[in-house]
Amino acid sequence: MTDARAFLLVIDSVGIGGAPDAHKFFNDATPDTGANTLGHIAQACAAGQAEDGRSGPLAIPTLNAMGAGAAIKLATGLDLGWPAPTGAYAAATEVSMGKDTPSGHWELAGVPVPWDWTTFPKTTPAFPPDVTARICELAGTDGILCNGHASGTEVIDTFGAEHVKTGWPICYTSVDSVLQIAAHEDHFGLDRLLTLCEALAPMLHDMKVGRVIARPFVGAEGAFERTLNRHDYAIAPPSPTLCDWVQGAGRSVQAIGKIGDIFSMSGIDEVRKGADATLMNHLSDLIDTAPDGGLVFANFVEFDSLYGHRRDVSGYARHLEWFDAALGRLLPKLRPHDLLIVTADHGNDPTWTGGDHTRERVPVLIHGAGARDLGHVAFVDVAASVAAHLGVPSHNGTSFL
């Protein structure tokens, strides 16, 4: 139908457990078997085990009505006793061999990853000499700092003062296929950092490293903090994604959050960025103004970046409740032929060991498709369903609509 629109919202890392291959993925030496981001947060809140001592159920009535609890039960058998849903829901399973941002988003957009990602060893140094030499060449420095696995917030506390003194960039990685470079916006320069990461990215992409990420920060020793000027230089998807399908049909594709970075701007007409609260305002505006026939594709990253990696159960719970309340105010604004899907790209269980993503199934919660149990679906079926709703050709997956 010509007046159909689609809104695809990725609440980053809100997994629901039950990935059949979770035993192949690890946090430290512990396999991800049994991780359940949303289910374990709900249980911790009900038991008063969140860090702020809160008790009582996790208050997410909008997501509950869309089928969040039913999707958890479908994925794992865990029954949280939440009300029966009034929306359509499913549990989606990933086939790409990664539990990272590009793998999840590309597959949701119809393109599973056809290769194994390159990751760096948990050694110091972590990066090969030729990579380190290239960074130094591009940065104009004699060396780099860290050169190992590290937390993004801890690494600037540990190396920030030395970075300001020497000018050497702080380079670190994680279990994901990523090389991150942190630098001070004033002492090193934001433009210089972005130029460094952009110039380095082709070398890393040739190695099948998924992303080079610029991580700017500000402040003084003891009070360094990251800014919102992060930029991801991601490897391009290996084939056209949902964004390209929609744009190729002459429709608009508007991206919210880091979607533009994830897809290397392929198939995207407009990008709006900011903190999650700002992104929600952008979403509200686009519900009012997005043209007929188009796609709005959003990522809300703070579930993952601020709470999942930091294993902050209380913060994660509060952010879920914030998102749920905001979404509840937006749903009545949707037009009769709009489709809105809430899903996730992977898990990041804040009750789990370690500090990395967890391999999980993800919820697929649908507003605008009636009340149905859609069962188990594939990530690529999300793309096929959005394409079917918009009436554009799909190149992979099966529509569940």
| 314-362 tens-digit pLDDT | 999 999 999 999 999 999 999 999 999 999 999 999 999 999 999 999 9
What's this model's pTM, rounded to 2 decimal places?
A: 0.94
The whole-number pLDDT of residue 48 equals 83
3-state secondary structure 312-368: CHHHHHHHHHHHHHHHHHHHHHCCCCEEEEEECCCECCCCCCCCCCECCCEEEEEEC
CA 76 to the chain's CA centroid: 22
Q: Write the DSSP assignment of 224-258 as a string of letters.
A: -EE-S--EEEEPPPSS--HHHHHHHTT--EEEETT
Share of the chain above pLDDT 90, in %: 95
3-state secondary structure 76-135: HCCCCCCCCCCCEEEEEECCCCCCCHHHHHHHHCCCCCCCCCCCCCCCCCCCCHHHHHHH
The whole-number pLDDT of residue 55 equals 59
Length of the chain: 401
Coil, helix or strand for 68?
A: helix
Q: Across 162-303, where does the E strand assignment appear?
A: 170-173, 178-184, 211-218, 225-226, 231-234, 253-256, 270-272, 295-300
Q: Per-residue pLDDT averaged across 12-40, rounded? A: 97
Q: Per-residue pLDDT averaged across 122-145, rounded? A: 98
The model's pLDDT over 187-201, given as tens digits with 9 standing for 90+, comes to 999 999 999 999 999
The model's pLDDT over 209-256, given as tens digits with 9 standing for 90+, comes to 999 999 999 999 999 999 999 999 999 999 999 999 999 999 999 999
Instruction: Fill in the amino acid letter for 157.
Output: D
Region of 302 on the Ramachandran plot (φ > 0 left; ψ -120 to 50 alpha; else beta): alpha
Residues 6+ apart with CB under 8 A from 134: 200, 203
Indicate if the pLDDT at residue 287 is higher than 70.
yes
pLDDT bracket for residue 50 (50, 70, 90): confident
